[in-house]
Amino acid sequence: MADRRRSVAENVAGDFFVDETCIDCDTCRQLAPAVFADAEDYSFVYEQPKNAETRRSAFRALLSCPTGSIGTLNPACAREAKADFPMPLEGGVYYCGFNSPKSFGGNSYFVARPEGNWLIDSPKFLPHLVERFQSLGGISHIFLTHRDDVADAGKYAVRFAGRRIIHRKELSAQPSAEQVIDGSDPVQLAPGFLAIPTPGHTRGHMCLLLDDRYLFTGDHLWWSRTLQSLNAGRDVCWYSWEEQARSMSALARYSFEWVLPGHGERINQPAERMQTEIRELLARMRP
């Protein structure tokens, strides 16, 4: 739980606060941009919620904070926001919430399908999420974009007998994974589900394209609030920036309308606009 005695100096007075344990993962700023802002090395409350909607979003951020760095004078009210997770986005795609510190606060997603549900990367393993996933039909497949964001995937695999899918070059992060992908060619995993190897951020990073509409991008690609464009980060590229640029170029061949990242903002735009954004990003990435 957050400690008001360790509250950061930038917080405005009121119900919500951020303390010094914040790791600057951006989760709260994605969920409640009207409440939380960036102080470069951590988040802070720049404006207290002014209505029921922004208050609810602040409670969602509190629950999803991986390090428990957000506090409130009314913690009992946070329990009501639990019911919002997993949070529907569109077309049976959900944002899980409850981001894990094991993935530095990375986002994870749940996809409901009649033939078997999917988990993309992993949130914390919590009774609430277990119950909700069970009520939605369980988890048949767990797609892991890369080693950084596996978090509690193993626990979910055991609980639901879900098949974990990971690239061989990331296998050391989940050595007992049930399905291992080799090489650099796209792999059709199931109808509508295409695994696309995108090395760069890590050696075996992969994206997952669902129904030519939803692109789950791990740490390969995200929406930047600052630039107001799709973006990738050289300073968080752990393997090869040149490889990441090549992977980005290959990704430009596909059609999609959603970018759903592990880290960074998600975005929904027309497919034609996404293609323009990718081309502009490539121009910035290349020397």
Spatial strand order of the sheet with 109-111 comes to 87-90, 93-95, 109-111, 118-120, 141-143, 163-167, 179-181
Give dist(CA 25, CA 18) in Å, integer.
13
List the chain domain ranges: 4-82, 85-285
Reported as a single tens digit per residue, the pLDDT across 192-249 is 999 999 999 999 999 999 999 999 999 999 999 999 999 999 999 999 999 999 999 9
- CATH superfamily assigned to domain 85-285: Ribonuclease Z/Hydroxyacylglutathione hydrolase-like (3.60.15.10)
Least confident of 1-5, 18-22, 46-50, 107-111: 1-5
- Per the CB < 8 A criterion, the answer to whether 146 and 202 are in contact is yes
Reported as a single tens digit per residue, the pLDDT across 17-45 is 999 999 999 999 999 999 999 999 999 99
For tokens 């509250």, what's the residue?
Answer: 7
Give the pLDDT confidence score for residue 143 in this predicted structure. 98
- CB atoms inside a 10 Å sphere around CB 260: 28
| 0.75 surpassed by pTM | yes
CATH of the domain spanning 4-82: 3.30.70.20
Helix (H) / strand (E) containing 79: helix 78-81
Give dist(CA 271, CA 214) in Å, integer.
10
- Over residues 133-149, the mean pLDDT reads 98
Rg (CA), the chain: 19
Average of per-residue pLDDT values in the chain: 96
